[in-house]
Amino acid sequence: MHITILGSGTCVPSLERSSACIKVTDGTTTVLLDSGPGSLRQLMRAETEINDIDLVCYTHLHVDHTADFVPLLFASKYAPLPRTRDLAIMAAPGFRDFYDRLTYAYGDWIVPENCTLVWLDAGRPAVFGSLTITAAPVRHTPHSIAFRLADSSGKSMVYSGDTDYCREIIDLAVGCDVLILECSFPDDQYHEGHLTPERAGKIAAEAGCRQLVLTHFYPDCDPQQAVPGAAKKFRGCIHAAHDLIEIKL
Ligand SMILES: [Zn+2]
Ligand SMILES: [Zn+2]
């Protein structure tokens, strides 16, 4: 499994950090987890064609996690060649309705002609190539979910999307190799519905993951200080993500 964090930032415009987006591939199957604004350009930097994506997973409907869904659909119709393979979507409850409402605004410009959007039920595991994808609700918006991807060799990664400390993310992440958690704010600026370094470290410790990767840094959260903050609770390996960081399992 090869993980690339395409965007380690938030809704705050940044030349350093693009909005939330992670690419996961087993070598043949490519999965995108969230696609905030700027994700399509980040995909190009990771040398990935948009038509290579098999499945897009969305944790929730916030703009910093979904905005490039529209450009993805629009570009898939035209460039560089129209997409002909189906595109699967596994997303938080309400996403299908969200897409239908987007078509009221954009019309047929975002309705594929040469391929089909396949809507998967996030309540059930999905298998793509050697990857099995499962989802669980987390504490952010009422319909937010997190994803776990496991390959056939037993390696696994979990991505929180946006969440607060909750039992569900711990249960989803039990024993995983890499746990990628949002780390929006420093510990002295806790906002309900988001994590801080210590809260992220607590989740990693209770889940017993091997490695913790912190991402989704608002400007007030210094990644260099976030690592020792999380280390107060978690003794395993901790990294602060930056855009295009790669993790190979
Ligand atoms: Zn966010
Ligand atoms: Zn959010």
Domains parsed from the chain with CATH numbers: 2-248 (3.60.15.10)
pLDDT at residue 79 in the model: 72
Task: Tell me which DSSP letter residue 236 carries.
Answer: S
Distance CA 22, CA 4 (A): 6
Angle, CA of 150, 152 and 155, to the nearest 5°: 45
pLDDT at residue 226 in the model: 98
pLDDT at residue 234 in the model: 98
> What is the band of 80 on the pLDDT scale with cuts at 50, 70, 90?
confident
Per-chain residues with Cβ under 5 A from ion ligand 2: 62, 162
Distance CA 96, CA 121 (A): 10
29-43 per-position pLDDT tens digit: 999 999 999 999 999
Residue range 46-61: average pLDDT?
A: 96
Q: Give the distance (Å) from ligand 1 centre to CA of residue 248.
A: 24
139-182 per-position pLDDT tens digit: 999 999 999 999 999 999 999 999 999 999 999 999 999 999 99
Closest ligand to residue 60's CA = 2
104-122 per-position pLDDT tens digit: 999 999 999 999 999 999 9
**pTM of the entire structure?**
0.97
Q: Give the distance (Å) from ligand 1 centre to CA of residue 82.
A: 30
Residue range 69-83: average pLDDT?
A: 91
Specify the long-range contacts of residues 126-131, CB closer than 8 Å, at least 24 apart: 126/55, 126/88, 126/90, 128/29, 128/31, 128/54, 128/55, 128/88, 129/26, 129/28, 129/29, 129/54, 130/26, 130/28, 130/29, 131/1, 131/24, 131/26, 131/29, 131/31
pLDDT at residue 52 in the model: 94
On average, the pLDDT of the chain sits at 97
The strand order across the sheet containing 156-159 reads 126-128, 131-137, 145-150, 156-159, 178-182, 211-215, 237-240
> Which amino acid belongs to residue 156?
S
> What is the band of 231 on the pLDDT scale with cuts at 50, 70, 90?
very high
Q: Give the distance (Å) from ligand 1 centre to CA of residue 34.
A: 10
Tokens of 21: 């987006």
Distance CA 136, CA 156 (A): 15
Q: Dihedral sign, CA of 218, 222, 224, 229?
A: negative
